[in-house]
């Protein structure tokens, strides 16, 4: 098993252990220990993720040495964070998280970061712009990181009507290969059920980005990096090329995403077959998403 696969197994075992501890009344101890571990990881100033390396390379190519970083759905500020390294290096910004427990940890991590504003809010298409304005985020800021696990498409659409981040790091739902354009519709009552029904496909993100003058610079598994078209020497990637090189053809993707085994069939189907497969798979979510090829 690869190192990524071993990490996935270890993480699953830790989660199970934490759940058991909570059931027998050791929740506070688990939370305290988890907070200490997060602080130890945060103290390093980075989490050595592939996404961090991609982001740092893009910022170098763009000649951006420092600027505002906006992290929407920042979680605990450490886990899978694309902003931690920049915040730790003194970059100013805004980190937004709605979950009370995650926000508590986020505040703990950044309690000595005066230039990082924190907002405990659930971000929606209706309030996204107002939140950034309330915290005086400049229109042309450096980095936007977006990972809501839901109606991300519509939040990003609202932001791009008013803001022009130099780099966008947006999570995609990697189960949808091009040319499938999929997005969960905005619903104020939406809660991710921890299944495959979340987010947007790469082709849908590309469509939105292109409409606002952005192109795909790179895909790292399920994180897409967009830049303003023509601002780097990199050739803009098509969704097909980005998806193939950034996800589908990576030799360890099945180990990293073992939960996608039940939808692997989609890669062997033509476009009509892909759409039919998705409609059948998401039958219980009928009317709650957009889908086209």
Judged by DSSP in three states, 231 sits in coil
> CA-CA distances (angstroms) from residue 187 to 11, 92, 191, 286?
31, 31, 9, 13
Q: For residue 62, what are its two tokens?
A: 């763009």
CB–CB of 266/274 below 8 Å?
Answer: yes
Question: Cα–Cα distance between 287 and 144 in angstroms, integer?
Answer: 30
Question: Whose CA is closest to 124, among 42, 74, 189, 34?
Answer: 189
How many helices (H) does the chain have, and how many strands (E)?
A: 11, 9
* Predicted confidence pLDDT, tens digits, the chain (293 residues): 555 455 444 444 444 444 444 355 544 433 443 444 444 444 454 555 688 899 999 999 999 999 999 999 999 888 888 898 899 899 999 999 999 999 999 999 888 889 999 999 999 999 999 999 999 999 999 999 999 999 999 999 999 999 999 999 999 999 999 999 999 999 999 999 999 999 999 999 999 999 999 999 999 999 999 999 999 999 999 999 999 999 999 999 999 999 999 999 999 999 999 999 999 999 999 999 999 99
Give the residue among 171, 160, 172 at the shortest CA–CA distance from 213: 160
The whole-angstrom separation of Cα 55 and Cα 143 is: 9
62-65 own/partner pairs: CB under 8 Å, 24+ apart = 62/166, 62/167, 62/227, 62/231, 62/232, 64/142, 64/166, 64/167
CA 182 to mean position of chain CA atoms: 16
- Going by C-beta distance under 8 Å and a sequence separation of 6 or more, which residues neighbour residue 129? 158, 159, 161, 162, 163
| Cα Rg of the chain (Å, integer) | 19
Q: Please count the residues of the chain.
A: 293
């Amino acid at each position: 098993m690869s190192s990524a696969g071993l990490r996935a197994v270890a993480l699953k075992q830790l989660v199970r252990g934490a759940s058991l501890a909570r059931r027998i009344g050791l929740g506070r101890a688990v939370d305290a220990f988890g907070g200490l571990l997060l602080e130890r990881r945060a103290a390093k100033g980075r989490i050595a993720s592939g996404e961090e390396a991609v982001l740092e390379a893009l910022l170098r190519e763009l000649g951006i040495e420092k600027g505002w970083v906006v992290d929407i759905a920042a979680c605990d500020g450490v886990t899978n964070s694309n902003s931690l390294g920049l915040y730790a290096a003194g970059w100013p910004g805004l980190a937004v998280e709605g979950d009370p427990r995650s926000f508590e940890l986020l505040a703990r991590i950044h309690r000595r970061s005066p230039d990082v504003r924190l907002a405990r809010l659930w971000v929606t298409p209706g309030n996204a712009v107002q939140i950034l304005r309330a915290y005086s985020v400049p229109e042309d800021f450096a980095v936007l990181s977006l990972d809501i696990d839901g109606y991300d498409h519509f939040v990003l659409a609202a932001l791009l009507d008013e803001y022009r981040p130099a780099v966008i790091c947006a999570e995609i739902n990697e189960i949808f290969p091009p040319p499938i354009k999929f997005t969960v519709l905005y619903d104020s009552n939406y809660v991710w059920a921890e299944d495959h029904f979340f987010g947007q496909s790469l082709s849908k993100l590309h469509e939105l980005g292109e409409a606002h003058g952005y192109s795909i610079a790179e895909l790292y598994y399920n994180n897409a990096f967009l830049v303003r078209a023509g601002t780097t020497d990199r050739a803009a990637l098509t969704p097909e090329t980005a998806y193939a090189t950034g996800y589908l053809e990576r030799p360890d993707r099945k180990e990293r995403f073992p939960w996608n085994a039940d939808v692997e069939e989609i890669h062997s189907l033509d476009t009509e077959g892909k759409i039919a497969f998705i409609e059948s798979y998401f039958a219980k979510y009928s009317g709650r998403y957009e889908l086209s090829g």
